[in-house]
């Protein structure tokens, strides 16, 4: 019998993987390392780190790196994302506006874990971080036509 995939996020693994992702952050400019781990609907976890660029607008955040890796593998449905940074506790990192909108493209109901370096965390939602958002369904309604 095939293993049934849990609909609940694998929180413990997400916490460990987002902290692991920090290690490969490419941050010559800000020195501010961020790690993310996103869990797909099938329970696969992709890591991502922030990757900076000498032309600063070319920087990509950890959240988008992780999600791009999944989407480029053809996966567009997600359960959860965990984000952490090398900031000292007790501060939490929250996704930037661009990342909130990027996540929103693929999911409005995923769980978001904001993780401290000691792996304590706060749980939040996209709805809380990006209320009244614009998304694919708005285009279907004919916005801009
Ligand atoms: N950063 C992220 O990776 N995720 C966020 O949500 C906020 C900011 C990165 C971008 C840049 O490399 C560094 O943090 C400082 O802004």
- Distance of alpha carbon 143 from alpha carbon 145, whole angstroms: 6
Confidence of residue 1 (pLDDT cuts 50, 70, 90): low
Residue 30 near ligand 1, beta carbon < 6 Å: yes
Q: At 91, is the pLDDT very low, low, confident or very high (cuts 50, 70, 90)?
A: confident
- Annotated active-site residue 127? The verdict is no
Q: Is the pTM of this model over 0.85?
A: yes
**DSSP 8-state code for residue 57:** G
Residue 2 lies in a domain: no
3 within domain boundaries = no
Rounded distance from Cα 50 to ligand 1 centre (Å): 6
Q: Tell me, yes or no, whether 6 lies in a domain.
A: no
Q: How far apart are CA 82 and CA 94, in angstroms?
A: 10
- Is residue 51 annotated as involved in ligand binding? yes
Dump pLDDT digits (tens) for 102-134.
999 999 999 999 999 999 999 999 999 999 999
Statement: residue 6 has pLDDT above 70: yes
Task: Tell me the CATH number at 26.
Answer: 3.40.140.10
Q: pLDDT grade, residue 61 (50/70/90)?
A: very high
Sign of CA dihedral 118, 123, 19, 17: positive
Smallest CA-to-CA distance from 15 within 61, 49, 47, 62 is with: 47
The token pair at 107 is 């999911």
Using the atom order of ligand 1, give the atom closest to the CA of residue 95: 6
Which residue range(s) make up the domain with 104?
11-141
Q: Which of 20, 39, 63, 122 is catalytic?
A: 63
Nearest CA to ligand 1 atom 4: 61
Tally of domains within the chain: 1
- Structure token pair of residue 84: 């952490």
């Amino acid at each position: 019998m095939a293993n049934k995939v849990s609909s609940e996020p694998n929180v413990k693994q997400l916490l460990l993987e987002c902290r692991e992702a920090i290690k490969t952050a490419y941050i010559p400019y800000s020195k501010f390392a961020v790690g993310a781990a996103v869990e797909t609907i099938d329970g696969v976890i992709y890591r991502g780190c922030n990757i900076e660029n000498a032309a600063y607008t070319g920087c990509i955040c950890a959240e988008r790196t992780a999600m791009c890796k999944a989407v480029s593998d053809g996966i567009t449905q997600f359960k959860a994302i965990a984000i952490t940074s090398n900031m000292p506790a007790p501060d939490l990192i929250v996704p930037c506006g661009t990342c909130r909108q990027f996540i929103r493209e693929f999911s409005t109901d995923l769980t978001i874990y904001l993780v401290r370096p000691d792996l304590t965390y706060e749980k939040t939602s996209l709805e809380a971080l990006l209320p009244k958002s614009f998304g694919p369904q708005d285009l279907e309604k004919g916005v801009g036509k």
